[in-house]
Amino acid sequence: MRKKIEEALDAIRPYLVADGGDVELVEITDDLIVRVELKGSCQSCSMSTMTMKAGIEETIKRAVPEIKSVEAINLSLA
């Protein structure tokens, strides 16, 4: 499962890197929640919430449908 998630992140990574950001897989919990860390400009970008939901989470769930959700450990939704 970890390998499939890493491959999904590798598929979206070039788009993040092109904008000065990146993403790193931190953990997969026992209840199938993926935790990632946004890096570089992705941490403070005003579009980071959209990137998480429409980009990263969608890509991971397409690759590994049993994943329940994807969370960024360093993204404030306030």
For the chain, which residues make up each domain, given as ranges?
Answer: 2-72
At 37-69, the pLDDT tens digits run: 999 888 788 888 888 888 999 999 999 999 999
| Residue 43 near residue 24 (C-beta atoms within 8 A) | no
Tokens of 54: 């429409």
d(CA 23, CA 16): 8
On the question of pLDDT at 15 being above 70, the answer is yes
Q: Classify domain 2-72 by CATH architecture.
A: 2-Layer Sandwich (3.30)
Question: To the nearest whole number, what is the mean pLDDT of the chain?
Answer: 91
